[in-house]
Structure 1
Amino acid sequence: MKARSLRWRLTWVSVKCVLVAWLIWLGCQAWQLSRAHYGFWDESQREVASQILESMPDGLELLPARERPALPAGQRDHKMSWQVWVKGNNVVYSIAAPDEPLKPDFRDGFARRTISGQVWHVYSLTDPRRGLTVQVGRSKEMIANEVARWIGLSLLAAGLIFVLFLLTVWVVIGRSLRPVAALREALRARQPLDLTPLQAPGLPTEFSPLVDAFNDQLTRVDQAVQNERRFIADAAHELRTPLAVLSAHADLARRAATEEERNTALRRLSAGVSRAARLSEQLLDLARIDAAVASPTLAPLDLAPLLVLVVRDFETLARERHQRIGLRTEDGRIRGDVDQLGILIRNLVDNAVRYAGEGGRIEVMCRRDVRDGVGGIALCVADDGPGVPAAERESIFHRFYRANGGAERGSGIGLSLVARIARTHHATIHVDDGLDGKGLAVTVFFPAV
């Protein structure tokens, strides 16, 4: 079923609320009017009886009783009826008055009685000197007719007011929603990759949080698109040289004149393939982190088993380089993402293995520690390689930064990934001298759970 528009819903709810409130008010007014009318009618009946009594001339006792003419239908529907009695004769009366006395006992005061099947509210007033009695009455039917007329007029007026109110609300809501329609048209007219924030002048304040949230989403999408574009540019730039080197080594192997030259070219080709594979892996890790629209879900986990798993993957490479990897761990839980922590540890250990050099020593540690009064887990990877000058230690965490010197030539991606993942996990990074005052030691401190 098609949903109704906001304009229709607001109009309909407003009309229903006003209608319910008006019906309640009408009921209260009708009830109060009925009660007030009895007091008003009592007073009006006294005044009418008094005025009629004062206006009667002397000598009415000499008049004979008058014959009551036949009345056409509807002639008795008057607001009030009255009679003037002299010595038991009804000598003067209103056209709608009944044949019998309104108050048969002729005592002064108010009374209620049934006449011809109708309940009457009557009042009697006597002038003893002249022997005149005036009786004034009003039937319940007359009272009901007056209330019905009042309600009918009120309903007619209310109907006109409701029509005017409905049109007013419809027009006002329509004008208030014009900026929303303009915003919709502006979105339809946009280019597919136009991710600039929306401008909505005159938009109702109730819609501002929605537009702000949408603008925030556009900003995140724009950031993701820019990251993707930057990744494509970086990948094209970084892979161009390794691929050219691979092509050159393959060409040398193909044109080699001797077996020794061919083997040398193939070894260089194999090393180039390994470097290109490592660069591709790091670029993919970089793309995966850049593509993350929201922060990863951090769950409690033990860092030591993950550390053991990654270090074992590097034991073969370390043996080929005649290196020694030491591993020391302590139990401790942190909040983290397993995939991203695996990337962080792998890049730290890979960096140490590659830069420690032939026959180097690497120490990987995971221990409980306290930094600035906060307890946590410190992950440290240290080596005894050539290290990094103190002036360059902050720069090694920038993307595509390569430290000067050293036999290995890195891609400048690994440690930048370490820095980004550390920020995501609210961890801090400390860089110091490595083993025996040589090399480099990178420590990542994670707050404990």
Structure 2
Amino acid sequence: MFRSTPLNRLAERLRRFRPARQLLPSKNRGNLLRPSAVWTEAVSTAQLAVEPVWRVVRAQWLRFVWPVLSIVSVLGWSILAGSILLWVVGQSFGWQEAKAAAIAAFVLFVIAVGFVLGRSSYGVVLDLTRTRVAVGDNAVGSIAVSNTSARPLLPAALELPVGAATAIFHLPRMKPAQVHEDLFTIPTARRAVIVVGPVRSVRADPLHLLRRQVLWTDPEDLYVHPRTVALAGSAAGFIRDLEGMPTTDLSSADVSFHALRDYVPGDDRRHIHWKTTARTNKLMVRQFEETRRAHLAISLSINTDEYGSEHEFEMAISAAASIGRQAIREQRELDVLTQKGPLRCETGRNMLDDMTRIVGAPMRKTAVDLARNLADKVPNASVVFFIVGSQVTPAQLRSAAASVPAGVRSLAIRLQPGAAPSRANIADLTVLTLGDLSDLAIVLRKAAA
């Protein structure tokens, strides 16, 4: 027998440990020994551990620290940094003038703090008479401010952002429970969605080193709809038949009688014409012309390369809005499609809201591409309007009309400011030239003639 020595005992332990390591696949052993894998796992673990802490720190920063630091304006930070720099320079070189300037700048900063301290207690009500107006109509609103504290409040200023501009309202000294009201008017020279508010009170020092503002209301959207014209009577140029527009397709059950034919097994017995059956001694049934209700589809091109000016582009949107509004008023089915997708047409309000949000831009898709897309998106349309600019050529209009299915009435309204209203035909397409929005009823009446 071998004598047990420390060296023999160590060799025995190594032999026992080696099979346990062999249980791991070779690729896993390589990963365990690869420094990059260990480092990646360590970084991922550290990220998972730090992320909750970072969220807490960020939330506390935004809640407590940032509201204090945001009060200081750019000029305030410059004055504060300048005072520190002057003090360091004066202390380093022994310049008493620099130290005096540093102290003066710091005193100005401290005095500015006194102007923004304190708390105001206001009750502010922002009231827009109408949140939807048309271009050219004035939007009227009011701000009612009340002192909800038990002490008088010093004169202050309220700011009301209106789009990119800001209106300032000066408040007098207000006693407890006193109410001060101001009226304002928002000009609406162009189609837009104007964000009004929030109303904020501002405290600032005379040099505007510090500026403290408190928000009192939520912002409101003011929709400036495109200008529209009324299309009364037959000026709309739509099919007026209450039962729909007769087509050449025949149907076994409808309201527009066409002719009699022999009975075929499966026909509805209610449509058997008994007098003719008794005379001819064979079953005869009524045959009808298939009818459909007018389903309008409007193809509105928003490619600004196809328009000669911004005014022409706005006229196109107004023309489409006028036709769509008339169709909704007559309870017609309506679809409006642009290069950026369809618009909501459930109600006139939704349609005008979406048209207010339209932003034109140069793009690859032309009016012809939009017409082809319209044929796929609205296959059941009975009347199609193409609203295009003056830069669209007759050849393009001919290509757009070629994409319309047979049996669908198609009209193109070509905007050309200053031109006389006229009508022309390109194959089966009726082209209407519109020079002024007020002439829309006239050109549609020409199309209906």
The answer, yes or no, to whether TM exceeds 0.5 is no
Compare the two structures and name the one with the higher helix fraction. 1
Q: Highest Rg: 1 or 2? A: 1
Q: Which has the higher contact order (CA 8 A, sep 6+)?
A: 2
> TM-score, structure 2 length as denominator?
0.29
> TM-score, structure 1 length as denominator?
0.29
Compare the two structures and name the one with the higher strand fraction. 2
